[in-house]
Amino acid sequence: MSMGALRLMTLGQTCTASVSRHARVGWSSLNVRALGSSNVRRNDFLTTPIFYVNAVPHIGHLYSALIADCAHRWQRISGAEGTIFSTGTDEHGLKVQQAASLAGKEPLEFCDKVSQEFRRLFNSSYIQYTDYIRTTEKRHHTAVNTFWTTLQDNGFIYKGEYEGWYSTSDETFLSSQQVEDGIGKDGSKVKVSVETGNAVEWTSETNYMFKLSDFSTPLLEWLDKNPRAVYPPKFNNMVRQWVQDGLQDLSVSRQRDRLQWGIPVPGDSSQTIYVWLDALVNYLTVSGFPGQTKLWPATHIVGKDILKFHAIYWPAFLMAAGLSPPKSIVCHSHWTMGNFKMSKSRGNVVDPFDRLKTYTPDGLRFFLLREGVLHSDGDYTDEKILKLLNSELADTFGNLLSRVTGKALNPSQVFPKCHAELFPWQQSSQLASGRATAEDYALVSAVSLLPDSVDSHYNNFEAYKSLDEIMSCLRQANAFIQRHEPWYLIKNKDQEPWLETVLYVAMETLRICGILMQPVIPEMAERLLCRLGVEESDRTLKDLECFQGMQRVIESRPLGEDTGVLFSRLQFKNRR
């Protein structure tokens, strides 16, 4: 029998009485797919971008890491072993060279300090990366040198004169169509990038060029053969249009007298490898390149501002080197604050370290993954996060756990029994003593179907859809408790079987939701599952069969230690 079928086994089969053979046979003939059987998009190698160390981390960096961490945790819960989840820092380039100079530090000393801040942010936010890569590492220099030599040996790099507009902030050359008139910080008229608004300057120099113009057709074929090459579709269409508009050869080195902080071109010490070619190779470095690569190709999580580098330059580089292009480029949008783009000049940049202290790591994770969607910008306000966390984590989730595990309703402190004669599986059962209502059956049905749906959403990097459905089930469970008023049932000994059944259904709902929420709120989920007496070995995909025994005894299992309120209600503090 499939796992999906097991998960929908009759409530009565868990309970102390059995339902009719007819009901079991009739139900088990349903064609329900096994959980995870359609998971053809397993993401065994996940990456964030490596983050540029010219400035301290912000909320957008954390969001990228959370998307990847959530997906990676789900892979682990699904039973995957030996998976890779890499993040890290990009430490070369002119912006880093300039930032270090302004700070009065040597470039590597500057990079060490800022890279440690990214590592501290991710560790504080429960990001479980398996590899933290820095482009100043020896293993990465080896990979970049080998990759460059491979491109050159394959005939895709040549030396030539380059003339055009250059953006130091974006570290890229731009065509005249990508530049417009703008106003500089001093009020003077300047040329700026149409896409980013950053100032550009006219530059003419001798450097190495990559034959990007050779890859229009291969890139379009890659997009055609793999619909999820770039995801979601909004960004896939954007990349396709960029390619169709025409690709020009790309400058992939800088004169070393202008850029010393970077990896020298092999065999030409007068040139420094372009920071984006250098940085993108980090994914291969993590996989083991230039030796035997592990789990390649990877799935990359990136922000929309760096989509072109990952969805055009990177697959073209890989094809030129004779390697497989990425499995998928998953692109997400940005966060605004009060519907304005975050910027230091506007003073609306969200400090993630401050918010971690205020809202807890689980709270901040929950908000960003609950409210963030890939295809549209999310808007951050402290009022919004406080309202959401109080409503969903404190009231809906935490309050339900407190109710059903408290000694007032559960004096024996065990996972209670369920009595099938009071809650038979089929609403039309002839068991006249049944007390369950139509709303009760709706709850059990929703929870039974939840794991399949959540599995699909997590694999599509849509945690917000998972959380929407999980919270719906938890709200139904709270309504279930309100409907049956166990605080009155506890006063009557004759009502004990029904009280146990009511608590059982609510606690099974919490158990399933707790397992499913581990990728989003790992510490809270850990405390909830411990409180319910669920062992660490019983918190995986195979343990999501609900309202039945899973070949292990849940009923009458002792509850774990009461560690207090799951999530404390927050008070609003005006930050102005």
91-106: average pLDDT: 93
The domains found in the chain, sorted by start residue, are: 3-39+393-543 (1.10.730.10), 45-326 (3.40.50.620)
Q: Given a cut of 50, is residue 552 above it in pLDDT?
A: no
What are residue 131's DSSP bridge partners?
Answer: 86
Q: Given a cut of 60, is residue 575 above it in pLDDT?
A: no
Residue 518: which residues within 8 A CB-CB, separation 6 or more? 73, 77, 525, 526, 539
- CA of residue 353 relative to chain centroid, distance: 19
Q: Which residue has the higher pLDDT, 68 or 174?
A: 68
pLDDT band at 428 (very low <50, low <70, confident <90, very high): low
Q: What pLDDT score was predicted for residue 193?
A: 86
Secondary element (H or E) of residue 269: strand 268-273
Tell me the average pLDDT of the chain. 88
Q: What pLDDT score was predicted for residue 8?
A: 35
Q: What pLDDT score was predicted for residue 179?
A: 87
Q: What are phi and psi of 439, to 5 degrees?
A: -65, -35
Q: What pLDDT score was predicted for residue 170?
A: 73
Alpha helices in 485-549 (DSSP H): 486-489, 496-516, 522-531
pTM for the model stands at 0.88
Q: Given a cut of 60, is residue 156 above it in pLDDT?
A: yes
Q: What is the pLDDT of residues 308-353, one digit of tens each?
A: 999 999 999 999 999 999 999 999 999 998 888 877 667 778 899 9
Q: What is the pLDDT of residues 355-379, one digit of tens each?
A: 999 999 999 999 999 999 999 999 9
Q: What pLDDT score was predicted for residue 39?
A: 43
Contact between 397 and 405 (Cβ < 8 Å)? no
Residue 28: which residues within 8 A CB-CB, separation 6 or more? 1, 5, 9
Residue 111: which residues within 8 A CB-CB, separation 6 or more? 53, 89, 91, 96, 100, 134, 136
Which tokens hold the place of 440?
Answer: 């009760």
- Among the listed ranges 28-42, 53-67, 75-89, which one has the minimum average pLDDT value? 28-42
